[in-house]
Chains A and B, each alone.
Chain A
Amino acid sequence: MFNFFLLILIYSGIYALMAIGQNVITGYGGMLSLCQAGFFAIGSYATAILATQFGWSFWATLPVAALLSAVFGLLIGLPTLRLKGDYLAIATLGFGEIVRNVLNNWDSLTNGPMGIQKIPMPDLFGFTINPYRKYAFLVMIIIFVIIAYYLFQRLARSRMGRALTAVREDEIAAQSMGINITKYKVYAFVLGAAVAGIAGSLQAVFSLSVTPGTYTFMVSVMVLCMVVLGGMGNFKAAILGAFIIQLISYFPQLTGLSSVIPPQFKQILFGLILVVMMIWRPQGLLGREEHTYGKKHAQKRGSK
């Protein structure tokens, strides 16, 4: 039971990384992208293939996974970022499906639907991080999430984050303020893809096997839900959203009611939560992060 809770935490962490990426793209950049699963898959397979066929250590595959996802982010980003709203969603959805289909059919490289097994466990200074004994792995995941949170938070609070927000709010005005909007959109996309690639890499060494069936469209939708539920434009909220959605999706097993509650139940619960959220709190649980500037004003507010 407790062990199971640890599993949920680990998955929350992996998904939190993807949600952080999605938050850069959707929450800050305002682009409705639905291909986090695609980048997730690319990261996973990069690690799986490099580790099993070339004997690389996990730590060596990690930057390659991130880089490869980022390159695909760039490749898909450049042509599609002219699209807006629904059209971008459809194009990115298509990309996610293409990735999954390629993995499913490129037998010589990915071993097709059977996937890749026996991925070596990651080790650090001679200490093997064994995913079966979950504590060490959980610690590793938490460290990754903290680093990602810290870096992205810092990015968001810099002029880059502000420029990206400006692009979301009004592209024409942003352009006229000297912001190169294409550049910032592509940046957001590449960064979001890279962090999803890292999540994929971690997923590969956690389950020690990868199969194309893991990286379905549902994953992208779940990640988007996490960001929407937590609150767009807020990295803490993305992490919180990841945790809540994971908790909900394992709810039947966690409460020992999986024999009574059919697995489809979680999708009903999902939908219900989103509908309720949209009606009662469309800004998400935590809402957008706002910055207060100028100490004098802050003090005035505090004294009230």
Chain B
Amino acid sequence: MILLETEALTRAYGGVVAVSKVDFQVEAGLITGLIGPNGAGKTTLFNNMTGLDVPSSGKVFFNNKDITGFPAHKICRMGIARTFQNIRLFKELSVVENVMIGRHFKTGKDATHGRFLNALKSYVYLKQEEQEIYEAADNWLDFFDMSQFKNELAKNLPYGRQRELEIARALATDPKLLFLDEPAAGMNPQETDHLMATIRKIRDLGITVVLIEHDMKLVMNICDTITVLNYGMKLAQGTPREIKHNPSVIEAYLGKEEE
């Protein structure tokens, strides 16, 4: 089943076409890799699918529903969460608070509880809601084995942990689809191995994962299917094995062999 799909998605900034007529499909339940040389338009494509940017033309479908041009918070509420290439944590908040923010729209108006003014309602209600949010957040911290850092400020975490916290925060929104923008950037080999195990664990929870990554070992190891972008256009799509032997992909990465 196709969970998310773009149809001839194009994003141009003035004369520069960052993404050009890309048809990108995400199969539910799989790990999809999005690779390509620097400036190929990977992050732009991500931003256009998660509502942080609006496509110049083309459409985005999620669960067969047209979500083109939806604001980011709505897209998140539909079940698409993401992390960022340059970590965007709430630095001055504690680790657990970061994850609790991921639970923001799970209680209150959109869930079973009523409205915004609930914050002014009974003390008991508020306590209960906070406890609920806290427990859910705590579970995700346990998943990442980070409970001991609970009350540390996010900015004081080691780099690898910050990356994990960002994933935990995204997962706290209970997504169906998780976008990871270069999750292994800046990690050492041990941390990368750990991350691979984590991503597999996430997939086993039934969450579809799409990731941008430059670390080919990681991509080839865990992705079920890979899409290659180059100069904003889709170059190839297939299993890791197919991509590894695709001549145009090799050309894009290594250049053409002289005859």
Contact = CB atoms under 8 A, between A and B. Distances in A.
Interface of A: 151, 154-155, 157-163, 165-166, 169-170, 172-181, 187, 288, 290-294, 297, 301
Contact of A165 (B76, B90, B130): B90
Contact of A173 (B88, B92, B105): B88
Tell which of B81, B129, B130 has the most Cβ of chain A within 10 Å.
Answer: B130
A293 B94 contact: yes
B89 to A, nearest CB: 7
Interface in B48-82: 50-52, 71-73, 76-77, 81-82
A69 to B, nearest CB: 18
SS class, residues of chain A in contact with chain B = helix
Tell which of B52, B73, B88, B97 has the most Cβ of chain A within 10 Å.
Answer: B73
B200 interface: no
B102 interface: yes
28 contacts: A154-B119, A154-B126, A157-B130, A158-B126, A158-B130, A159-B100, A159-B103, A159-B129, A159-B133, A162-B100, A162-B101, A172-B52, A175-B73, A175-B76, A176-B52, A176-B170, A177-B73, A177-B102, A177-B169, A177-B170, A178-B76, A178-B173, A179-B101, A180-B73, A291-B94, A294-B96, A294-B147, A294-B150
Q: How large is the interface on B (under 10, 10 to 19, 20 to 34, 35 or more residues)?
A: 35 or more
Contacts of A159: 100, 103-104, 107-108, 119, 129-130, 133
B120 A151 contact: yes
Contacts of A187: 116
Contact of A293 (B107, B150, B170): B150
B138 A160 contact: no
B81 A175 contact: no
Interface in B149-203: 150-151, 169-170, 173
Contacts of A157: 126, 130
A166 B129 contact: no
A177 B76 contact: yes
Tell which of A165, A175, A288 has the most Cβ of chain B within 10 Å.
Answer: A175
A187 B115 CA distance: 14
List the 5 shortest-distance A-B pairs measured between CB atoms, nearest first: A169-B90, A178-B76, A175-B72, A173-B88, A158-B119
B24 interface: no
A184 B14 CA distance: 32
A159 B106 CA distance: 10
A169 B130 contact: no
Contacts of A291: 94, 97
Contacts of B81: 176-177
A301 B92 CA distance: 20
B90 A166 contact: yes
Contact of A160 (B96, B102, B116, B147): B116
A291 B97 CA distance: 9
B176 to A, nearest CB: 13
Given A178-B104, A179-B105, A293-B96, A155 B119 contact: yes
A220 B137 CA distance: 39
B119 A165 contact: no
A163 B133 CA distance: 13
